[in-house]
């Protein structure tokens, strides 16, 4: 996928895929892995993107959020990556090149680190179409040491919290459903039981919260 604005300024034939976050051929090139809101709202200019997965991590709604999808009084729940030898997490890797690198990192530092308490971590990303050509990428991960970390909870409790929370970027339910939509697009090989259990719990509770038309107005 190429972002329209990137397509207008995409450099000539991009160098071969890089094995490092910084591309050997273009030291200014960098891959950034998104697995939460970044899969549907990167909000930075990029030159290329790939759907794929990282191994050794599971995605969990274990990070509290008091800005984007919640408030101080009612923190929402957003995702982070949990180290898990058997885990596999699907998302999107975005390639930024040249000036895009600093622009993306400056933007993400505010959105993810300052406002979201995420740290950066190098991961190995496997593109869906070329899993034999993995890429090194930068991921933003909320560790248990950050002040907003909420940790594990029953999926029903997480669903209840998501249904009740809203922040400056919108309702927490939108965050959940857009991520679920992305996973649908990835196809049957992309499974996320934790995400599916929360979506199921929301579906069970939603009619109790409000009639359908009001529920759709939430997202």
Instruction: List interacting residues with ligand GSH (CB under 6 A).
Output: 34-38, 41, 65, 68-69, 78-79, 111-112, 116, 118, 140, 169, 175
Select the residue whose beta carbon is closest to ligand GSH and give its number: 36
The catalytic residue among 112, 155, 193, 213 is 112
DSSP 113: I
Asked whether 50 and 125 are in contact (CB, 8 A), the reply is yes
Asked whether 50 and 127 are in contact (CB, 8 A), the reply is yes
By C-beta, is 23 or 77 nearer to ligand GSH?
77
- 174 is known as an active-site residue: no
**Cα(125)–Cα(203) distance, integer angstroms:** 32
By C-beta, is 179 or 213 nearer to ligand GSH?
179
By C-beta, is 20 or 41 nearer to ligand GSH?
41
CA 130, 134, 139, 143: dihedral to nearest 10 degrees? Answer: 120
Give the number of other Cβ atoms within 10 Å of residue 45's Cβ.
Answer: 19
**Smallest distance, Å, CB 101 to ligand GSH?**
17
By C-beta, is 25 or 168 nearer to ligand GSH?
168
Q: Please report the DSSP string for 118-187 in residue order.
A: PEEEEEEEEESS-TTS-EEEEEEE--TTSTTB-----HHHHHHHHHH-EETTEEHHHHHHHHHHHHHHH-
**Smallest distance, Å, CB 26 to ligand GSH?**
23
**Cα(64)–Cα(9) distance, integer angstroms:** 37
**Smallest distance, Å, CB 114 to ligand GSH?**
10
**Smallest distance, Å, CB 13 to ligand GSH?**
28
Residues identified as active-site:
112
């Amino acid at each position: 996928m190429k972002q329209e604005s990137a397509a207008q300024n995409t450099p000539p034939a991009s160098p071969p895929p890089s094995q490092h976050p910084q591309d050997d051929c273009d030291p200014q090139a960098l891959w950034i892995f998104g697995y939460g809101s970044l899969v549907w709202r990167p909000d930075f200019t990029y030159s290329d993107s790939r759907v794929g997965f990282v191994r050794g991590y599971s995605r969990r709604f274990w990070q509290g959020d008091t800005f984007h999808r919640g408030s101080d009084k009612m923190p929402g729940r957003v995702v982070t990556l949990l180290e898990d030898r058997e885990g596999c997490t699907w998302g999107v890797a975005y390639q930024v090149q040249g000036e895009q690198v600093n622009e993306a990192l400056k933007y993400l530092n505010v959105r993810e680190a300052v406002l979201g308490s995420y740290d950066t971590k190098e991961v190995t990303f496997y593109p869906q179409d070329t899993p034999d050509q993995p890429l090194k990428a930068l991921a933003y991960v909320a560790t248990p040491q950050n002040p907003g970390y909420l940790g594990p909870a029953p999926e029903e409790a997480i669903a209840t919290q998501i249904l009740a929370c809203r922040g400056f970027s919108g309702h927490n339910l939108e965050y959940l459903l857009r991520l679920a939509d992305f996973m649908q697009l990835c196809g049957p090989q992309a499974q996320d039981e934790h995400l599916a259990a929360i979506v199921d719990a929301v579906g069970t509770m939603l009619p109790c919260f409000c009639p359908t038309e009001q529920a759709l107005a939430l997202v």
